[in-house]
Chains A and B, each alone.
Chain A
């Protein structure tokens, strides 16, 4: 099992729909979880972090964390073509000394 697992996609959704991106992780002791967005040819940028079970909302983005099931998800409401990018899940494994990134899920929002 990979330490941080994501479906590479592409995930295609129509404009205005909800995009749901999922990430599972292997270290039950992990405490913080990050979602980064990476446009093609650009560097990653942080869009959300979450460390408590439940939901965290920021504008059109909602991060959902379930530590018992070891998954974290990112929902994007009212998806826009400008949301088309690769979304990377990042989890500090084994304490805070190593952040492991998932392979990323490529999202395509179709106008």
Chain B
């Protein structure tokens, strides 16, 4: 079946504008994760959704960032009033059941966000 998809693949926006990034997880996967990867840096955890449970938002860097997951499937990450330091690749991943032993995360291709 199809893997994790993300859109858009590239987004260039002006400072101060809002952006929405979309993630379509693998069908049947109950867990969905958002990460951010800046140039030359490791993966920064942002948020984790597991089924119908309240998401773990503790990784979101500021209140300009929010995410939702509709119907336990598609997720949207929204960044309001974008800043230049928000420029990064935003990666979405999904896994079958969540953080358990050996539960593999499958990553999407990422959205490269550039704030000018």
Contact = CB atoms under 8 A, between A and B. Distances in A.
Interface of A: 31-32, 34, 42-46, 49, 51, 88, 90, 92, 95-104
B45 A99 contact: yes
A99 B91 CA distance: 14
Interface of B: 33, 35, 41-45, 48, 56, 58-59, 91, 98-102, 104-105, 107-110
A32 B91 CA distance: 22
Nearest to A31: B101
Contact of B42 (A43, A51, A103): A103
Contacts of B105: 34, 46, 99
Given A97-B56, A98-B48, A98-B58, A103 B41 contact: yes
Contacts of B58: 98
Of all A-B residue pairs in the complex, the 8 with the closest CB atoms, nearest first, are: A96-B99, A43-B107, A103-B42, A101-B43, A46-B104, A32-B101, A51-B101, A49-B102
Contact of A51 (B44, B102, B104): B102
Contacts of A103: 41-42
Contacts of A99: 33, 45, 99, 105
